[in-house]
């Protein structure tokens, strides 16, 4: 009987994992926005499914030396269908026109992968490539568009993505 209960618990956990591949404490939906001065500041936001120990970004000039730490805030957000916890960290005193590597974490071992961004530069030769979209939806068009956006971002085909709203 105990083996059957354990087997059922494992099956239930596997089913829940397939419904929520992120897990309750891991960061997801990580995104950036320029701060007040795009040359020296960046905003990092993400969500977790459950409240966590903290909201922090570790960052630096190489992916193996994320020695700078900025702490932020966490706020509960509830809509009709779910509750999530929105995290916000402001990075400041950054160098203009510089690439930084970062990850987000809760300070208790739930870290994201390492990502990177570049601060803005006022160099007249800088000509960033923008991708602008909105009203993403949940229909078949969204399913076709998202892999293309991910591919373009991963390949470096765009520097900045502006989402103008109505994300489903």
pTM equals: 0.77
Pairing of strands 130-133, 99-105: unpaired
Dihedral sign for Cα atoms in the order 119, 121, 126, 130? positive
User: Which pLDDT value is given to residue 20?
Assistant: 55
Q: Give the chain's length.
A: 168
Alpha-carbon radius of gyration of the chain: 19
The pLDDT of residue 46 is 96
Tell me how far apart the alpha carbons of residues 19 and 21 are, in angstroms, rounded to a whole number: 6
Spatial distance between the Cα atoms of 43 and 30, rounded to a whole number of angstroms: 11
Place 6 in a pLDDT band, splitting at 50, 70 and 90: very low
% of the chain beyond a pLDDT of 70: 81
Q: Where are the domains of the chain?
A: 24-122, 128-168
CATH homologous superfamily for the domain 24-122: Purple acid phosphatase-like, N-terminal (2.60.40.380)
The 10s digit of each residue's pLDDT in 62-109 is 999 999 999 999 999 998 888 999 999 999 999 999 999 999 999 888
């Amino acid at each position: 009987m105990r083996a059957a209960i354990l087997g059922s618990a494992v099956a239930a956990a596997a089913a829940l994992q397939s419904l929520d591949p992120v897990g309750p404490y891991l960061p997801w939906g990580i995104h950036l926005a320029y701060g007040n001065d795009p040359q020296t500041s960046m905003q990092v936001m993400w969500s977790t499914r459950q409240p966590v120990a903290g909201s922090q970004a570790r960052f630096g000039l190489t992916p193996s030396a994320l020695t700078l730490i900025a702490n932020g805030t966490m706020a509960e957000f509830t809509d009709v269908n779910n509750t999530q916890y929105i995290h916000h960290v402001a990075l400041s005193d950054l160098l203009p026109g510089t690439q930084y590597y970062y990850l987000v974490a809760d300070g208790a071992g739930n870290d994201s992968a390492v990502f990177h961004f570049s601060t803005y530069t006022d160099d007249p030769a800088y000509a960033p490539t923008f991708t602008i979209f909105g009203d993403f939806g949940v229909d078949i068009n969204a399913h076709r568009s998202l892999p293309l956006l991910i591919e373009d971002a991963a390949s470096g085909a765009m520097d900045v993505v502006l989402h103008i709203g109505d994300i489903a």
